[in-house]
Amino acid sequence: MIDVPVLDVRGATKVYGSGETEVHALRGVSLTVERGDYVAIMGASGSGKSTLMNIIGCLDVPSGGTYLLDGVHVGDLDERRLAILRNRRIGFVFQSFNLIPRMSARANVELPLAYGGVKGGERKRRALAALREVGLADRGGHEPNELSGGQQQRVAIARALVTSPTLLLADEPTGALDSKSTADVLGIFDRLARQGRTIVVITHEDEVAAHAKRVVRLVDGRIVEDRRQAPVGVA
């Protein structure tokens, strides 16, 4: 099990539209991410990094090439299985937090567990543990609009972590945060990386990329740079 890479993308292409309006978002991307790695995928807007993130997050399927998540061929799965896969294996963190309004922080964190069929008591315990991990154990009862941006993003991270996913996938997680909150969120990522979590962060900020163990740079749908900054494995 240890030698199966978490992510194994081989020659992935993505084409939007057809004929004259054809857009090649990805032109053959191959990327392998080992367990415990902390990868930053960088690129300017239009470089295809969002498309790659959607494919990695099982929200979209590649037009060509294959994608294995934890050794599972994602392209073969129907919608129901994709939903289960997203629920169990991936934790999403979005730029705009994407918490569900008018639901308490704890209820938001419990949501993936609810869809995963975890029972009430167990769910509450795990949600509180996840909130504690991001330092918001005392804010479980607050609704998103009662929390600051940084706190909302930390709740979102708790929600991503609560199912103990194989992969934590963050899309511009600090894009909407001030520098103090950015530091908080990056600090949490650093700690998670030290605990051996596999993290993939999509970003265009060098400051964020600096924290990663490996930086992958995309230009025009191709990987142009793949630089390792720190070794994989528990530090």
Partner 1 sequence: MSPLEVLRFALRGLTANKLRSGLTTLGILIGVAAVILLIAYGNGSSEAIKKSIQRLGADSLTVSTSTTSSSGGARTQARDLTVKDAEALAKSPSIKSASPVVSGQSSTATYAGTSSTIDRFVGSTPDYFAAASKTIAAGSAFAETDGNVVVIGSTVASDLFAGTDPLGKKINVGGINFTVVGVLKASGSTSGGFNDPDSVAVAPLTAVQASVTGYGALDQIVIQAKSSEQVDAAQAEAESILQQRHGTTDFTVASQASAQSAVADSNKTFTVLLGAVAAISLVVGGIGITNIMLVTVTERTREIGIRKAIGAPRGAILGQFVAEATILSLIGGLLGVAVGVAGSLFTIAGVKPVLVPSSIALSLGVSVVIGLFFGGYPANRAARLRPIEALRHE
Q: Footprint of partner 1 on this chain (CB under 8 A)? A: 54, 57, 59-60, 79-80, 83-88, 92, 94, 98-103, 111-112, 114-117, 159, 163
- Residue 45 or 179: the one with the smaller Cβ distance to partner 1 is 45
Structure tokens, 93: 């963190």
Least distance to partner 1 from the beta carbon of 80, Å?
Answer: 6
Least distance to partner 1 from the beta carbon of 112, Å?
Answer: 5
- Residue 68 or 114: the one with the smaller Cβ distance to partner 1 is 114
Least distance to partner 1 from the beta carbon of 190, Å?
Answer: 24
- Residue 154 or 159: the one with the smaller Cβ distance to partner 1 is 159
- CB under 8 Å, gap of 24 or more: what pairs does 212-217 form? 212/38, 212/39, 212/40, 213/37, 213/38, 213/39, 214/37, 214/38, 214/39, 214/40, 215/39, 215/40, 215/42, 216/31, 216/39, 216/40, 216/41, 216/42, 217/41, 217/42, 217/43
- Residue 162 or 209: the one with the smaller Cβ distance to partner 1 is 162
- Residue 115 or 164: the one with the smaller Cβ distance to partner 1 is 115
CB-based contact 215:229 (threshold 8 Å): yes
CB-based contact 38:214 (threshold 8 Å): yes
Least distance to partner 1 from the beta carbon of 103, Å?
Answer: 7
Least distance to partner 1 from the beta carbon of 98, Å?
Answer: 5
